[in-house]
Amino acid sequence: MDPANSTLGKILLDEITPVVMVLRTPLVEESSQKNQLSFIQLLSPFCNFNNIDVPVRTASDQPYRLKKFKLRLFYASDIRQPNIEVAKERLNQVITDAGEKDLSKLCSEPFQIETVLNSSQNEFLPSWFQYFNKELVRTVSFSEHEAFDHPVTCLLAVSSRDEDPINKFVDLFNTNQLPSLLNDGAMDPKILKHFVLVHDDEEIPLERATKTLAEMRSTFGANCCHLLCINSSKDGSEEHENLWAAYKTDISDGQPLRSFLSSDDVDELKKFIQDLSSKHIIPHMEQKIRLLNQQVSATRKGFRNQIKNLWWRKGKDDAPENPAGPTYTFSSIESQIRVLGDYAFMLHDYELALSNYRLLSTDFKLDKAWKHYAGVQEMMGLTYFMLDQSRKDGEYCMENSFTTYLKIGLSGQRNATRCGLWWVEMLKARDQYKEAASVYFRISGEEPLHSAVMLEQASYCYLFSTPPMLRKYGFHLVLSGDLYKKCDQIKHAIRTYKGALSVFKGTTWRHIRDHVHFHLGKWYGFLGIFDVAIKNMMEVLACGHQSKTTQELFLKDFLQIIQQTGKTYEVPKLQLPIINIPSVKVMYEDHRTYASQAAIHVKESLWRSLEEDMIPTLSSKSNWLELQSKILPKKFKESNICVAGEAIGIAIEFKNPLQIPVSISGVSLICEHSPAVSEPNANNSTGDQNGETSNKSATSGNFTSDTSSFTLSEADVALGESETVLVQLTVTPRAEGTLKIVGIRWKLSGSLAGFCTFDSDLVRKKVVKGNRKSKRSPIDNLKFLVIKSLPKLEGIIHPLPETVYVGDLRCIALELQNPSKIPVKKLKMKVSPPRFLQIGRKEDLEAQFPTCLERKSSRQSSLRSKTDIVSDDIFLFPEDTTVVDGAPISCPLWLRAAAPGKLSLYLSVFYEMGDTSSVMTYRTLRLHFNIEVLPSLDVSFQISPRPSRLREFLVRMDVINRSSSKGFQVHQLSSIGNEWEISLLEPTKVLPSDFLRAGHAISWFLKLKNCRSVTDQDSASSLCPPEKADVNLLSGSEMLFDIYSSPLSEFHHYERVHQRISDQEHEDTVDFILVSRSQKTILFVSFYSVRTSNPIWWIMDGPQTIKHDFKDTFCAIPLRMIVHNSSDDVLSIRCKPSGSAVNMSSSGNASASSGNEVGWHDLSLSNDIKVTSDIPGTRVVKPLSSDTVPAFIWSASSSTHFILEPLSSRETPLEISVFSPGTFDLSNYTLHWSRSSQSDHGDESRASSGTCQGHPFYITVLQQD
Amino acid sequence: MIVCVAVVGHQNNPLYIQSFTEADDVLKLHHIVHCSLDVVDERVNNPKKSSPTLNETFLGLLYPTENYKVYGYLTNTKVKLILVTTDLDVRDADVRNFFRKFHAAYVDAVSNPFHVPGKKITSRTFAERVSTIVKSFGLSSAS
């Protein structure tokens, strides 16, 4: 790339050009101002030559042609170092103006990072940077240590209207207005002068002007005088707008420029400047270059001169150090070399310039003239660049210059900035953006505003570097934005932050992103652009990851902005609080109605299984077709059905992500309602309608207009730190049609309205109730078909206890009410589970409890329930029951808390509409309630057969009060069934007080007798009067409860079902009912089922003590065994003494009657040794192990086999032979029983055979003396 | 003194960033760590520079800012470990040693079966371990 065409090249060709000092009289200016241009502005358009094509010959003999050339015109008064303060002011103005200009872009969305990357540098970079940089460079113009700003020529202009023009010319140059550069010796005061007589055609005749020109020529020389005619156009209508457009910055645009310049005038101006350049300035410069070059060659070139120079400079080392460096006057050789270099540079002879700069830089370095040195280094860098060679050297020179400028302190600061800017351009021209960025970073000095601009430029360098360094781009933009903000350049700050946002938008670096969003929001708020401010602020609202103080700050500032807007602001997708859309639950009632919230949350399958038998049309296809297809338009077949006037509930979760409490108010649903469509053909139109309205809602969320057809509930929620709150909202449709729930709206802190739509794809709605159609799109779930109002039963249960104790039995009433005018009929009811809940009879409500359960004198009631076990069926209300117009009907229910824990009770009431014209013919009312059941009495039974009595048992009942505080009275224990008789072993009371206190335990010992017999099987009651089946355990109370009365018998039945005992009563189980009381009215009933052992009972009968003389013979003792069959089957029973007694029998007695039994003969001789022990004495209990020797054997027909009829007894004789005195335990026998085959039809769970170990029976044999 | 350590995931998402200064310069350190990723990317994507140290996990000094020095370390799974220190003369060996320990701690933290890969490391044990490593870094360089 040609360096001259690069940005830097253009800047240099623009900035480092010969300066023409202009001196003019006020009248010249006045004439010029007629065209609204200053004199310089008038000339400026012609000073820029793109193709001047002048041959130039500098130091070498070879001429070359100069193409580009430019003159810079300055008034003498402007040729001085600019005032720092004024310059600063002007720069600030530049920045402010630039900020104002971009106002329209300010509110636009930040770019996507992809578009930023794809956009070219020119369109993305703000254009004012170049202008700013230029202005910044100009703040250090006309410095003493550089020669390229020193005027080359002086242009003196006098108007032809001036009196005595010749003297004016002399006066102009002689006054003290000349720049200090000329006066204080920094440059040669002998400057090339050019005299111009400006002739204003309007007022002075041309003849007078030409006369004056002749005078001038004679005075100043023929060559350097010129006559310039302007304003020759009389009417001032000439248009030359394009020529001056770039130069008249102070004139407002758009205003047509009145010009008195004719085209001849313009041509003349052009020719004048061209002549001035090519015939005067360039030859003058050539001449000077040659002259200076000769001098420099003479004094400095060559070996001798160099040595001399070195030595001479060395000697100056001792001179005191001047902080500003030594001063060089125009006559010093250093100044002359510098002028030579700069002139050569301006005439594009870079080789010559470079050689001179090199020469000079060593001189300055030796002199420690750092500012001069830096200036020369800078020029060297630029020359290298223009020569496009040795890039490294160029950069080195620039860096050297930059650091040297910085080294000399504050005065070099701005020079350093200029040098840096050029350096940056040099790097940019070579695509070294990354390095350029770091140079920009170094330029940013103390002045915060300038630093901001530099940092911003640095950031763009990072962006344009390859590969782009986006993070650094963002970071530097943020840094720059902060500095802009510090200087109150909010618009610039916003611009930079917006750029940064495009980097941070998609990242997970939330700390940084929040910072950017927050400040953007705040700044937009300052500017009063509230909508954008709020949009940015909203991004940071849900900042749960930030610290608490930050969250508070964010929220406070946000609310402040909202307040400043002075109105409620509506925003979609407000992040505070977070709405958990998947959590949305919809509750509505079609034919299923619910008595309470609790009932809604019960699983639909549970209800369905409960209602299975009650609802007739549920599965009937014909009914469905008939009803639905006729009345509902096809489109809405898939919709949910709801009834006008009945609320649809939505439960939705609000989550506060912050650690600070947040209050939201006015939470309500957004719904849209469209009236009913009569003909199904209109499907399309309604579809369109819906589409339109839903579009509206998505944008505004303002849907209050249509409130006539439905009413909405409002809720206020206060969310604590990180709290999640479930909000219940309802919408109640008032008119028929379709209702769609679109979304939800709320107000944050009273001023910010947020809304959120349930987008169909977002909602994973849980339909609480199962739908009849299994397949449906989710969007339809929030769409309801509203049908006309129907009666709806309301049901409550009272009194409903919250906690009860185990066994608590009480009567509660279900009260049904129909607030509507339309009657309902055909009521049916079902309850579940029957173990806990029973439907009572109508008269139960009036009856006094618990006295109604007391035993009546009549027998019938107690017998009734025996056969009248309630099947778990539907309870039908009487045919004529209709509920209408608020009149309640009651239905009694019995509640028994059977088990500790939480009881869930379900009731379902089915009813049909009195008015058959409606879409729904029936509805169901579902009730559900929970009762906490606390533990009360814990009862355990131990039953053991009474050895001394046949068919009698000893019962030990342990009662522990497990409740925490309550005391109980144990009132009554009853056994169920007619064949059992129970009584206390001892009639005395054990209980010190009537109440069993919490944690106490007590035991009773009872006697249980089976009085079942064959003869009395059918009329068992006559054998065993019911009084004997009950035991009153409470002193002072003779009242007994009838355990066969309703509902006790029903509960007993279901208890048995629950415990998986077959309905059929077994002979081997006994059920007890324990009735206990706490307060007067509360009755506790517990059921216990105890399994008694076997179908057979037996006792051994015989003498307890026998005296016998063992000297004669062994002692044979006859015994009796009475066996009773208590089962309904014929049993085959075999009595079998244990094999351990065999050993003895083999040696002593071979009279084993049952020789067919092999076991009796199985013996081994080795055991005989043990057998011989016949030590007389008292052997107490012989343990029954194989290696001990029994002292007795079963003899005679001790193994017997017989058949026993049901419920009969038999006596069997037995005999034992005792060989020595002692006490013997005769339990070493077993009884085998098996049912005879004819009764095998019985249920299989019963054992068909079994073995019983013998009961202990002790016999003592003493030696008879 | 180490002022900040960070773990950055392979998609340049911050997994763990902890500063060890009293001053409120969290944001600044976030920015510095974030910017250093540019340099990491540059080193990784520029094979010419990294070819002699192809298998080297330690990336060395990423860039010196005004007051900080930033060192980087790249694991095999493209997880970046970043260290920001205020020390002016840091021995490379120290930094390497630090990163080796830091890496081990990171590996242990993500080996937790309850850690979700790609999510922020919330383990308290990891935080404690890192702060111990950071403290020991200061000690070893001082001695």
Distance from CA of A491 to the nearest CA of B (A): 23
For residue A511, give the chain B residue with the closest CA.
B27
Which of B30, B38, B41 minimises the CB distance to A512?
B30
DSSP conformation class of A842: G
Interface check A127 vs B, CB under 8 A? no
Contacts of A512 in chain B (CB under 8 A): 27, 30-31, 34
For residue B21 the two structure tokens come to 């200064």
Domain containing B118: what range?
2-135
From the centroid of its chain, how far is CA A642? 33
Contact (Cβ atoms closer than 8 angstroms) between residue A493 and residue A522: no
Query: What's the pLDDT score for residue A681?
Result: 40
Does the pTM exceed 0.90? no
CATH classification of A935-1012+1025-1092, choosing from 3.40.50.720, 2.60.40.1220, 2.60.40.1230, 2.60.40.10? 2.60.40.1230
Of B74 and A613, the one with more pLDDT: B74
* pLDDT tens by residue, A1081-1102: 455 566 666 655 567 777 777 8
Which of B14, B26, B35 minimises the CB distance to A508?
B14
Contacts of A509 in chain B (CB under 8 A): 13-14, 30, 34
B-interface mutation test, from A451, A465, A472, most B Cβ less than 10 A away: A472
Query: Which residues, including other chains, have CB under 8 Å from residue A123's CB and lie 6 or more apart?
Result: none
Query: Which residues, including other chains, have CB under 8 Å from residue A1120's CB and lie 6 or more apart?
Result: A1100, A1101, A1102, A1211, A1212, A1213, A1214
Contacts of A469 in chain B (CB under 8 A): 38, 42
Cα torsion A288, A294, A295, A301 to 10°: value is: 140
DSSP conformation class of A959: E
- The DSSP-derived string for A424-450 is HHHHHHTT-HHHHHHHHHHH--S-HHH
Residue A489: pLDDT band by 50, 70, 90 thresholds? confident
- For residue A577, say if its preceding peptide bond is cis, omega within 30 degrees of 0: yes
Distance from CA of A776 to the nearest CA of B (A): 35
Of A256 and A348, the one with more pLDDT: A348
d(CA A576, CA A543): 9
Distance from CA of B143 to the nearest CA of A (A): 35
Which of B14, B26, B35 minimises the CB distance to A472?
B35
Contacts of A511 in chain B (CB under 8 A): 26-27, 30
Instruction: Calculate mean pLDDT across residues A978-986.
Output: 74
Coil, strand, or helix at residue B110?
helix
For residue A471, give the chain B residue with the closest CA.
B35
Superfamily of A1094-1140+1188-1239+1246-1264 according to CATH: Immunoglobulins (2.60.40.10)
Residue B53: pLDDT band by 50, 70, 90 thresholds? low
Contacts of B41 in chain A (CB under 8 A): 467
Tell me what the pLDDT averaged over chain A comes to. 74
Query: What's the pLDDT score for residue A664?
Result: 83
Residue B126: pLDDT band by 50, 70, 90 thresholds? very high
Contacts of B119 in chain A (CB under 8 A): none
Please report whether residue B142 resides in a domain. Answer: no
Which of A471, A478, A511 minimises the CB distance to B37?
A471
Span between the terminal Cα atoms of chain A, in Å: 148
Q: Which of A86-90, A340-344, A518-522, A978-982 has the lowest mean pLDDT?
A: A978-982
Q: What are phi and psi of A1108, to 5 degrees?
A: -150, 145
Highest mean pLDDT pick, A208-212, A562-566, A761-765, A1244-1248: A208-212
Distance from CA of A48 to the nearest CA of B (A): 44
Across the interface, whether the CB atoms of A512 and B14 are under 8 A apart is answered: no
Across the interface, whether the CB atoms of B27 and A470 are under 8 A apart is answered: no
Rg (CA), chain A: 60
Please report whether residue B13 resides in a domain. Answer: yes
A-interface mutation test, from B34, B48, B67, B84, most A Cβ less than 10 A away: B34
B-interface mutation test, from A463, A464, A471, A476, most B Cβ less than 10 A away: A471
Query: What's the pLDDT score for residue A198?
Result: 85
Instruction: Calculate mean pLDDT across residues A624-641.
Output: 51
Distance from CA of A508 to the nearest CA of B (A): 6
Please report whether residue B11 resides in a domain. Answer: yes
Across the interface, whether the CB atoms of B12 and A478 are under 8 A apart is answered: no
Paired residues of A346 in beta bridges? none
pLDDT at A662 over 90: no
DSSP E strand stretches across A994-1082: 995-996, 1001-1010, 1030-1032, 1069-1077
Paired residues of B2 in beta bridges? B85
Across the interface, whether the CB atoms of A509 and B34 are under 8 A apart is answered: yes
pLDDT at B141 over 80: no
Contacts of A507 in chain B (CB under 8 A): 12-13
Across the interface, whether the CB atoms of A511 and B26 are under 8 A apart is answered: yes
For residue A470, give the chain B residue with the closest CA.
B38
Cα torsion A580, A581, A587, A591 to 10°: value is: -160
Across the interface, whether the CB atoms of B27 and A508 are under 8 A apart is answered: no
Query: What's the pLDDT score for residue A740?
Result: 81
Residue A1187: pLDDT band by 50, 70, 90 thresholds? very low
Across the interface, whether the CB atoms of A475 and B12 are under 8 A apart is answered: no
d(CA A228, CA A265): 8
Which of A467, A469, A512 minimises the CB distance to B27?
A512
Across the interface, whether the CB atoms of B34 and A475 are under 8 A apart is answered: yes
Interface check A599 vs B, CB under 8 A? no
Interface check A509 vs B, CB under 8 A? yes
Contacts of B37 in chain A (CB under 8 A): 471
Q: Which of A4-13, A340-349, A580-589 has the lowest mean pLDDT?
A: A580-589
Residue A237: pLDDT band by 50, 70, 90 thresholds? low
Span A89-140+431-504: which CATH code? 1.25.40
Consecutive H or E run containing B102: helix B92-111
Interface check A472 vs B, CB under 8 A? yes
The closest alpha carbon to A953, from A966, A961, A943, belongs to A943
Q: Which of A423-427, A846-850, A892-896, A1124-1128 has the lowest mean pLDDT?
A: A846-850
* pLDDT tens by residue, A550-562: 888 888 888 888 8
The closest alpha carbon to A148, from A13, A47, A22, A16, belongs to A16
Please report whether residue B143 resides in a domain. Answer: no
Judge: domain A18-81+146-244+257-290, CATH 3.40.50. yes
Distance from CA of B27 to the nearest CA of A (A): 6
Count of structural domains, chain B: 1
Highest mean pLDDT pick, A615-619, A768-772, A874-878, B84-88: B84-88
For residue A500, give the chain B residue with the closest CA.
B31
Interface check A497 vs B, CB under 8 A? no
Which of A467, A469, A508 minimises the CB distance to B13?
A508
Could you say which residues from 1161 to 1180 on chain A have a Cβ atom under 8 Å away from some Cβ of chain B? none
Residue B7: pLDDT band by 50, 70, 90 thresholds? very high
For residue A211 the two structure tokens come to 């006369």
Do the first three CATH levels of A18-81+146-244+257-290 and A935-1012+1025-1092 match, i.e. the same topology? no
Please report whether residue B140 resides in a domain. Answer: no
Residue A856: pLDDT band by 50, 70, 90 thresholds? low
Please report whether residue B141 resides in a domain. Answer: no
Across the interface, whether the CB atoms of B34 and A471 are under 8 A apart is answered: yes
For residue A1152 the two structure tokens come to 């084993």
Query: Which residues, including other chains, have CB under 8 Å from residue A821's CB and lie 6 or more apart?
Result: A791, A884, A885
∠ CA A156-A162-A165, rounded to 5°: 55
pLDDT at A251 over 70: no
What ipTM did this prediction achieve? 0.91
Please report whether residue B9 resides in a domain. Answer: yes
Interface check A469 vs B, CB under 8 A? yes
pLDDT at A298 over 60: yes
Contacts of A444 in chain B (CB under 8 A): none
Tell me what the pLDDT averaged over chain B comes to. 83
Query: What's the pLDDT score for residue A360?
Result: 86
Residue B103: pLDDT band by 50, 70, 90 thresholds? very high
Chain B residues within 8 Å of chain A (Cβ atoms): 12-14, 26-27, 30-31, 34-35, 37-38, 41-42, 45
Which of B27, B35, B42 minimises the CB distance to A511?
B27
Instruction: Calculate mean pLDDT across residues A481-491.
Output: 88
Across the interface, whether the CB atoms of A515 and B27 are under 8 A apart is answered: yes
Query: Which residues, including other chains, have CB under 8 Å from residue A620's CB and lie 6 or more apart?
Result: none
Q: What is the CATH number of the domain that holds B72?
A: 3.30.450.70
Beta strand A192-200 with A225-230: parallel, antiparallel or unpaired? parallel
Across the interface, whether the CB atoms of B34 and A470 are under 8 A apart is answered: no
Query: What's the pLDDT score for residue B104?
Result: 93
Across the interface, whether the CB atoms of A511 and B30 are under 8 A apart is answered: yes
Q: What residue segments make up the domains of chain A, in order of their start? A: 18-81+146-244+257-290, 89-140+431-504, 506-567, 935-1012+1025-1092, 1094-1140+1188-1239+1246-1264
pLDDT at A1152 over 50: no
d(CA A35, CA A42): 9
Query: What's the pLDDT score for residue A366?
Result: 80
Interface check A471 vs B, CB under 8 A? yes
d(CA A683, CA A676): 11
